[in-house]
């Protein structure tokens, strides 16, 4: 198996990195290209850019951002948020993204996963699942999708998704650790890689997640601070987690 | 050095292009067979499926252009699917005839989680590169492996890598720099 991966996640809107408790309180915290590059220098294995505004008007801004990121970064990156069609996905890949993450659009139209995989290859198609109590939610957690996360992950894999990005809404933002039972349930049912997301508060949490998943998404634990990623890598190595040599 | 990056509707041409430009190469994305045949270095990138990729190459006459340059020993680099297409055959999509620049075939990965995604060590050398693939080369031309999987295969003029040097940080840049420096 390849080495476990650490994947910083950057929330973007209007071409900037933003941060906020609710959509109304978004605060500009920097340039995605600069922050992405700093994370890459600090040893990130991949990056995820999540467009949290995800409006139709936003698409062009996002494609332009992806172009700038691709011109500067030499590590893989995924773009998610508002990907609704093959046209959306192709525009992002053509601009230099390596993968697209789909969430609500795949729930509304599961055959989108198959179409994307046929067109782009499974390795470029990430199925993002948000779950609470093992049940899937769509539209940034606001709507009940009426499916079990483990079943949806399995169906997504069968339809062509090449990775599962699994976010526990219950654990998200708590900093009490990843939802290991949810992650274990999903990882044991699918044979594609699983990225655990939500709840990281310490290196021990990340190490525990990497025992059951192939990658860990890092958001609030990093505080948009690349130096924290470098520290975390050192701490994880101390805990015996094999990470790549980024030098 | 003039580098022609094959553009044929399959794959992340832009990342390969910017990686070459970063290293000071005069790189162009092109679907023109003459340009591909004559460049100092031709790069065949590729993600996606073998069948549509072969169709894309054939539709532009790039299959013959690549065969032509490899036959006279002009340096050609295949990346990921670009390595698999260089073989005689791929099991993908029910079976696809390849460019036959190297002996061997591409077969579906049988072990571990598939797609195999992430950084893994390549031996000899011991450096870590980024992989993202579901098929793997089975070829006597292999010159380096990663976890028992063919990572690099070489023939006269052709060098194929299963990993993505353009996405492999510093190790990838060092690798590409070696490809870009005249022998």
Q: What is the CATH number of the domain that holds A65?
A: 3.20.20.70
Asked which of A75-84, A177-186, A210-219, B45-54 is least confident by mean pLDDT, the reply is B45-54
Q: How many domains does chain B have?
A: 1
Range of the domain at B66: 2-180
Alpha carbon distance A90, A14 (integer Å): 20
Note the pLDDT of residue A227: 96
The verdict on residue A157 lying in a domain is yes
Alpha carbon distance B87, B79 (integer Å): 12
Contact of A215 with B115, CB cutoff 8 Å: no
Taking residues B9-20, what's their average pLDDT? 86
∠A44-A29-A220 over CA atoms, to 5°? Answer: 50
Give φ, ψ of B77 to 5 degrees.
Answer: -115, 125
> Across the interface, do B49 and A121 touch by the CB < 8 Å criterion?
yes
pLDDT-based confidence at residue B92 (cuts at 50, 70, 90): very high
Q: pLDDT: is A184 or A246 the higher one?
A: A184
Note the pLDDT of residue A246: 82
pLDDT-based confidence at residue A26 (cuts at 50, 70, 90): confident
> Across the interface, do B132 and A76 touch by the CB < 8 Å criterion?
yes
Range of the domain at A213: 5-238
* Chain B environment of A162 (Cβ under 8 Å): 115, 117, 134
Taking residues A36-42, what's their average pLDDT? 96
Please give the residue of chain B at the shortest CA–CA distance from A75.
B167
pLDDT-based confidence at residue B168 (cuts at 50, 70, 90): very high
Q: How many CB atoms lie within 10 A of CB A177?
A: 18
Cis peptide before B115 (omega within 30 of 0): yes
Specify whether A130 is catalytic.
Answer: yes
Taking residues B87-109, what's their average pLDDT? 96
B 21-40 residues inside an 8 A Cβ radius of A: 22
Note the pLDDT of residue A27: 85
pLDDT higher than threshold 60 for residue A22: no
* Chain B environment of A98 (Cβ under 8 Å): 12, 15, 132, 167
B170 in contact with A, Cβ within 8 Å? yes
Q: pLDDT: is A193 or A19 the higher one?
A: A193
pLDDT higher than threshold 80 for residue B10: no
What's the whole-number average pLDDT of chain A? 93
Note the pLDDT of residue A220: 87
* Chain A environment of B134 (Cβ under 8 Å): 121-123, 162
Note the pLDDT of residue A25: 72
Taking residues B96-122, what's their average pLDDT? 97
Please give the residue of chain A at the shortest CA–CA distance from B149.
A1
Alpha carbon distance B132, B43 (integer Å): 18
Contact of B87 with B98, CB cutoff 8 Å: yes
Taking residues A17-31, what's their average pLDDT? 77
The verdict on residue A40 lying in a domain is yes
> Across the interface, do B115 and A193 touch by the CB < 8 Å criterion?
yes
Residues B137-162 pLDDT 10s: 999 999 999 999 999 999 989 999 99
What CATH number is associated with residue B77?
3.40.50.880
Asked which of A171-175, A243-247, B9-13 is least confident by mean pLDDT, the reply is B9-13
Our CA-based measurement puts residue B176 at a distance from the nearest CA of chain A, in whole angstroms, of 12
Alpha carbon distance B58, B61 (integer Å): 5
pLDDT-based confidence at residue A105 (cuts at 50, 70, 90): very high
Specify whether A179 is catalytic.
Answer: no
pLDDT higher than threshold 90 for residue A200: yes
∠B167-A155-B81 over CA atoms, to 5°? Answer: 30
Alpha carbon distance A245, A247 (integer Å): 6
> Across the interface, do A192 and B12 touch by the CB < 8 Å criterion?
no
Note the pLDDT of residue A132: 95
pLDDT-based confidence at residue B21 (cuts at 50, 70, 90): very high
The strand pairing partners of B98, in sequence order, are none
Residues B110-131 pLDDT 10s: 999 999 999 999 999 999 999 9
B 94-133 residues inside an 8 A Cβ radius of A: 112-120, 128, 130-133
Our CA-based measurement puts residue A122 at a distance from the nearest CA of chain B, in whole angstroms, of 7
Taking residues B176-182, what's their average pLDDT? 90
Note the pLDDT of residue B138: 98
Q: pLDDT: is A54 or A216 the higher one?
A: A216
The verdict on residue A247 lying in a domain is no
Q: How many domains does chain A have?
A: 1
Note the pLDDT of residue B12: 73
* Chain A environment of B114 (Cβ under 8 Å): 191-192
> Across the interface, do B48 and A192 touch by the CB < 8 Å criterion?
no
Note the pLDDT of residue A157: 98
Mutate to test the interface with B, among A123, A183, A242 (most CBs of B within 10 A): A123
The verdict on residue A226 lying in a domain is yes
pLDDT-based confidence at residue A24 (cuts at 50, 70, 90): low
What is the pTM assigned to this prediction?
A: 0.96
Note the pLDDT of residue B25: 94
Alpha carbon distance A224, A10 (integer Å): 8
Q: How many CB atoms lie within 10 A of CB A158?
A: 12
């Amino acid at each position: 198996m390849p080495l476990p991966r650490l994947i910083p996640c950057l929330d973007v809107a209007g071409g900037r990195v933003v941060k906020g408790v609710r959509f109304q309180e978004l605060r500009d915290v920097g340039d995605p290209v600069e922050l992405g590059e700093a994370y890459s220098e600090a040893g990130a294995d991949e990056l995820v850019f999540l467009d949290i505004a995800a409006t139709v008007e936003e698409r062009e801004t996002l494609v332009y951002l992806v172009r700038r990121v691709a011109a500067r970064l030499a590590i893989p990156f995924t773009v998610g948020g508002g990907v609704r069609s093959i046209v959306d996905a192709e525009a992002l890949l053509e601009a230099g993204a390596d993968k697209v993450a789909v969430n609500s659009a795949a729930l509304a139209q599961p055959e989108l996963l198959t179409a994307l995989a046929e067109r782009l290859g499974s390795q470029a198609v990430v199925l993002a699942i948000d779950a609470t109590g093992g049940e899937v939610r769509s539209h940034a957690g606001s709507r009940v999708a009426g499916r079990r996360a483990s079943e949806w992950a399995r169906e997504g894999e069968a339809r062509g998704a090449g990775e599962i990005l699994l976010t526990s809404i219950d654990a998200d933002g708590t900093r009490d650790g990843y939802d290991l039972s949810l992650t274990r349930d999903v990882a044991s049912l699918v044979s594609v890689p699983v990225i655990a997301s939500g709840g990281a508060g310490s290196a021990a949490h990340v190490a525990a997640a990497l025992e059951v998943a192939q990658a860990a998404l890092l958001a609030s634990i990093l505080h948009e601070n690349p130096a924290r990623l470098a520290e975390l890598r050192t701490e994880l190595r101390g805990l015996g987690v094999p990470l790549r040599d980024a030098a | 050095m003039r580098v022609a990056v094959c553009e044929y509707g399959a794959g992340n041409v832009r990342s390969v292009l910017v990686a070459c430009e970063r290293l000071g190469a005069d790189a162009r994305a092109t679907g023109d067979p003459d340009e591909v045949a004559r460049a100092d270095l031709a790069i065949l990138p590729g993600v996606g499926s073998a069948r549509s990729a072969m169709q894309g190459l054939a539709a532009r006459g790039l299959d013959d252009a690549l065969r032509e340059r490899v036959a006279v020993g002009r340096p050609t680099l295949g990346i990921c699917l670009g390595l698999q297409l260089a073989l005689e055959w791929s099991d993908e999509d029910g079976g696809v005839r390849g460019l036959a620049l190297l002996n061997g075939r591409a077969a579906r990965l049988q072990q571990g989680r598939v797609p195999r995604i992430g950084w893994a060590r390549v031996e000899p050398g011991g450096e870590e590169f980024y992989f993202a693939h579901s098929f793997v080369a089975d070829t006597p031309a292999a010159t380096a492996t990663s976890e028992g999987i063919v990572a690099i295969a070489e023939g006269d003029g052709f060098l194929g890598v299963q990993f993505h040097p353009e996405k492999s940080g510093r190790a990838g840049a060092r690798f590409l720099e070696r490809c870009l420096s005249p022998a």
